[in-house]
Structure formats: structure tokens, C-alpha cells
Amino acid sequence: MAFFYSRIFHYAESLSFYIYNQHKASIFISTPLAFIISWWLVHVYARFARGSGIPQVMAAIELAQPTKKNLIPLFISPRIIVFKIISSAVKVVGGGIVGREGPTIQISSSIFNQVYKWLPNWWQPISQKNILLAGASSGLAAAFNTPLGGIIFAIEELSKFHIRYYRYPLFIAVIIAGLTAQGLGGPYLYLGHPKTNFSGWMIYAGIIITGILSGYLGAWMCSFMLRFMNFVNRQKKRIQQLSIVLGCALVVAVIIYFFGTEAMGSGKSIMERTLFTDQKKVEWYLPLIRIVGLVFSFSFGGAGGVFAPSLSIGASIGAVVSDLLRLTEGNANLLILVGMTGFLTAVTRAPFTSAIIIFEMTDRHSIIFYLLFGAVISNIIASISSRKSFYDAIKESYLKEVGEAEERPTTNG
């Protein structure tokens, strides 16, 4: 599913570029139409298919106990898989700045949970929490082709109990999912082998500056996005919600119209251009433009994640800093990768997961300490702004939403 979802996402992004290149002004039709369809599909058919998917899995793991497990299908189910894929793909066709990696985690956990339901009574008992964790880590491993990243993600971001209780199911699931994805897509690297270097004291100054900027901008973006999402959730009338969706679509369309294709989609082309060509320079405002685009692509509802967009924003921050410090080639690439690690850390508050993912998707073993250095700096700066991670905050809002819905009949009766 991760492999086929990546193909669907790729074709959707290619179609969005094609529409834009045919006639630039067409974005004012395609973006509002796509955003409305994306929102409507989720709003009507699967409300918890909206957004990333990681907070939903976190909520399901928390609900994996005898008294509350009946609520798990709200967050992970076959219905979620269908509408997650369709809604996110439609949003991307409209130029939305969203990714597929978070949604893949929710899709994978839904598959694992469905298999768990199908197990016969004579099967050896398995913890549902283990199943959900294994599904989430397998989804991330298959999405990025980063098995270690999937394992560390489960330990650092999802798990609240000791690893010895779930290590074997987790490792086996990640291995099988990774081998399956590689069998279909080949032994690819998400980003390839960029040349990296670390010479001179200026590179350390660059890592510190990049870490600080990534941490601050990432935390600011998450804070603003959460406030905006709370505002959206307070609007109960359909016409109010539809107006917000149209408003978000127009903001994104205007950005795309004036700033081109680098202001739309997941941003993988930005990462590839800055890492693998001599055209490493990006305009100083590109990180801000993509932050604004991500906020208005994500917050109104509809499906789509923030993993890949966060990496592209971090890459553009690293490119801006390397240009200011006159760093070139391998040194510039190092700062770009540090920026990707730092910004992802600011969003997830999982520095080790972020560093491992970047190291695995580039196969650059020699820079792991620099990535960790940048991630730790970013995490410190982001934690000053807020102790709670973006995903934790959304998870709590989902659980509160479900709790209020459960209490309503009792209150009225």
C-alpha cells in the first residue's frame, strides 16, 4: 500500500505541475475545487482521515485498552485508508503543500489492525498496542525506505512503555514491510547520495544558525497552525467551514501564481535541486512562503501530512544560511541536510528519529553527529516555545472531540 500510494501521490503532483504549466491562472480554479473536494470527502465520510495521520495513530494506541478500544475504528479502519488516499491525492492535484508519509503511517496501522481483527480465536494472543506500533513503524519505514527510522520513531514518538514488550513484533514488521516496498520499488534511497563536506569553523557556525532558525520557525509554524485549526473546529455551520476552505484555497492559489511550482506540492524537487545540482541558491523568502502554504493547505481539513513539506522547508532554510555564509558544494549540502533535520525535529520533537531518517535516506553515515547536533539545537529552541509537540497537541484535541461526542447522548438523556 505504501508503494502504490507513493505512485498515486507522484502522479497527482505531476498533474498539478502540468495544470499550472498549461495556464498559470488555472490554479485559481483547480486549487479551490480540489480543496473543497478534499475537505468534503473527509468531512462527510471519514472525519478522522483529515490531517497527517500520526496523531490519529497516537490516539488509537492510547485507546488500546479494554474500556476504550471500541473507539479505535474511528481513527484507523479500511474506510480511513480509502478516503485518506483519495482526499490527499485530490489536495495535491490542487497544488496543496502536503506529504504522504504521515498518511502512510495511519494507512499502515489500519491494515495491521484489520489483520488483528481477522486473527482466529486459536491464534496466539497479541497485544493490540503492539500491532498498532508495528503498523506505524512499518508505514514510516516503507514510505521513506528507512527501517531504522521506523523503529526509532516508534520508540521515541509513539511508545510509552518499555521496548522489551514489543521489540520482536516491531522489528519483524519493519523488515517485512521494508522488503516488500523494496521488492516493488527497488532498493532506492529517498534522496540519493549527496556529496557532503565539513571543513572550517564556519560550518559549525552554519549548523548552529540553521538549528536555531529551523527550531524557531518550525515551532512558530506549529503554534500558528494549531491556533488556526482550533478556530476552524469552532465553526459549526457548514457555510462557515466552506468559506474557510475557499479562503485557504485562494491564499494557496495566490502564492502559487506569484511564486511558481516551488510553492506547491511536497517540495521534493527543492530538496533534489539544492542537493544534487549547482543551483543551490533559494530566495530568502522561500521558507516563509512554503510555511504559509503548508499552514493553509493543512489546517482547514482534508488529508495530507507535514513530513515531506517540513523537510523541504528545512532544506530551503539550510540553503539560505549556506548562501549567506558563502558555503558551497559539500558544505552547503551539509547545512541543507541539517536544516531538514532541524525543521522536522521542531515539528515532531523527535530529534533522534529526524536525524536517523535523514541519514538513512541519503546514506551519509559520516554526518550523523552533525545532524544530531543540529537536531538537538532545534529541539531546545522549539521546546522553549512549547513543551508539547505538534502531534501530541492534535492527538489530545482528537481524544477530546471523541470524548465529547461520547458524552452527548448521556447528557441529553
Question: Angle, nearest 10°, between helix axes 368-385 and 202-234?
Answer: 40
Q: What is the pTM of this model?
A: 0.91
Render pLDDT for 293-321 as a digit per residue (tens, 0 to 9): 999 999 998 899 998 999 999 999 999 99
Q: Which amino acid is at 385?
A: S
Q: What ranges in 277-365 are assigned the alpha helix state H? A: 286-298, 307-324, 329-348, 351-362
Is residue 160 pLDDT above 70, yes or no?
A: no
Closest CA to 351 of 327, 309, 315, 383: 383
Span 2-185 CATH architecture: Orthogonal Bundle (1.10)
pLDDT the model gives residue 406: 65
3-state secondary structure 229-268: HHHHHHCCCHHHHHHHHHHHHHHHHHHHHHHHHHHCCCCH
Contact between 109 and 139 (Cβ < 8 Å):
yes
pLDDT the model gives residue 121: 86
Binned at pLDDT 50, 70 and 90, residue 410 comes out as: very low
Quick one: residue 154, left, alpha or beta (phi over 0 = left, psi -120 to 50 = alpha)? alpha
Domain 2-185 identical in fold to domain 202-396: yes
Gap between the Cα atoms of 405 and 330, Å rounded: 54
Gap between the Cα atoms of 387 and 367, Å rounded: 28
Gap between the Cα atoms of 271 and 310, Å rounded: 11
Gap between the Cα atoms of 84 and 36, Å rounded: 15
Place of cell 473543497: 36
Q: What is the mean pLDDT of residues 20-26?
A: 92
pLDDT the model gives residue 196: 87
Strand partners, 51: 303
What are the domain boundaries of the chain?
Answer: 2-185, 202-396
Contact between 346 and 214 (Cβ < 8 Å):
yes
The C-alpha angle 262, 391, 157, rounded to 5 degrees, equals 110
**Burial profile 76-101: b = 16 or more Cβ within 10 angstroms, e = fewer:** bbeebbbbbbbbbbbbbbbbbbbbbb
Percentages (nearest 5) of helix, strand, coil residues in the chain: 80, 0, 20
Q: How many CB atoms lie within 10 A of CB 151?
A: 23
Q: What's the whole-number average pLDDT of the chain?
A: 90
pLDDT the model gives residue 96: 94
Render pLDDT for 120-143 as a digit per residue (tens, 0 to 9): 988 888 888 889 989 999 999 998
Gap between the Cα atoms of 64 and 78, Å rounded: 18
3-state secondary structure of 51: strand
Right CATH for 202-396 from 3.10.180.10, 1.10.3080.10, 2.40.30.170, 3.40.50.720 = 1.10.3080.10
pLDDT the model gives residue 364: 82
Contact between 338 and 354 (Cβ < 8 Å):
no
Is residue 411 pLDDT above 50, yes or no?
A: no
Gap between the Cα atoms of 235 and 356, Å rounded: 40
* 184: its cell numbers: 516493488
pLDDT greater at residue 183 or residue 79: 79
Gap between the Cα atoms of 166 and 372, Å rounded: 26
Gap between the Cα atoms of 329 and 376, Å rounded: 24
Q: Which amino acid is at 38?
A: S
pLDDT the model gives residue 198: 79
Q: Please state which of the ranges 27-36, 60-69, 156-165, 353-362 shows the lowest mean pLDDT.
A: 156-165
Q: What does 54-102 look like in DSSP terms, one character per residue? A: HHHHHHHHHH-STTTGGGGGGTSSHHHHHHHHHHHHHHHHTT---BSHH
